[in-house]
Amino acid sequence: MTAILRLESAKHLRGAVALTGAFALLAAFLLSVFPSLADEAELLEEAYPELMVVMFGFEAIHTLEGFLASYVYAVLWEVFVGIYFAYLGAGTIARDVRERRMDLTLSNPVSRESVVLQKIAALWVPLVVLSVGLFAVLYAGSVVLDETIDPLVLTMAHVLSTPYLLVCAGIGVVLSVALDRPESAQTGAIGAVFLLWLVDGLAEMNEDLEWVGALTPSRYFDPTAIFVHEEYTLVDATILLVTFLALLAVATIAFVRRGI
């Protein structure tokens, strides 16, 4: 039974297209200022505080690859898209329970496990729409700027970011099952993803806190390594996938056992 998957996928389409349009405009603006920024790249790198250099991965920002890694993927993709997926995940269960739609759903021949899995599977829509949209804008922008950027690098950036975004969604799903109010779940998910990203940056500046940074999902997605050094760390992606599956298992078990 895939009715829930089809219905949830359709619900995500409009929001995904709208967000892609907004990100496309912002990415186009950033690309338009790249030529002038590249001329002042060395001065900018020296002017930035150490915390910003660490958190945004500023490196080789005079090149288009370094610029995209720091300004587009370390900010737009890692922070804002991560928060967006956490927000979507947090609304999967709690909102239906709160609005009594879950009673109607479970009155059909469908298991609770299937409900959770189909709702999280529907996130393929924003994942694909956002990835394809941003890829197209950035690649077209590089052509307009007469800059050469390897499409494989862009592709791998989106492939390797997928597990990270799934972990963000998984955090939201766990909170969606654990909390009764959807607003509380969504606020908690947004706060958790942002706080984990912030902790990762702070931990990198303190060797004594390195172990704390290793517990954050953003530690395992490094746009600078992908764009500047062309390092595709499949081990890190695997760690994130395992973490997502663990979060999904926790959410599913908790939903099966909870009363509605």
Predicted confidence at residue 53, as pLDDT, reads 63
| pTM of the predicted model as reported, rounded to 2 decimal places | 0.92
Per-residue pLDDT tens for 190-230? 999 999 998 988 887 777 777 888 899 999 999 989 998 88
In this prediction, residues 19-34 reach a mean pLDDT of: 89
Average pLDDT over the chain reads 88
pLDDT, greater one: 60 or 234: 234
Type of residue numbered 106: L
Cβ–Cβ < 8 Å for 226, 160: yes
The answer to whether 169 and 83 have CB atoms below 8 angstroms apart is no
pLDDT of residue 46: 60
Structural contact between residues 167 and 240, judged by C-beta atoms closer than 8 angstroms: yes
What confidence score (pLDDT) does residue 117 get?
93
pLDDT in tens, 75-109: 889 999 999 999 999 988 888 888 888 878 888 88
Instruction: Provide the pLDDT confidence category of residue 140 given band limits of 50, 70 and 90.
Output: very high
Average pLDDT value for residue range 2-25: 91
Q: With 90 as the cut, is the pLDDT of residue 67 above it?
A: no
Long-range contacts of 67-72 (CB under 8 A, 24+ apart): 67/30, 67/34, 67/37, 67/38, 68/138, 68/149, 68/223, 68/227, 69/223, 69/224, 69/226, 69/227, 69/228, 70/223, 70/224, 71/30, 72/27, 72/30, 72/134, 72/138
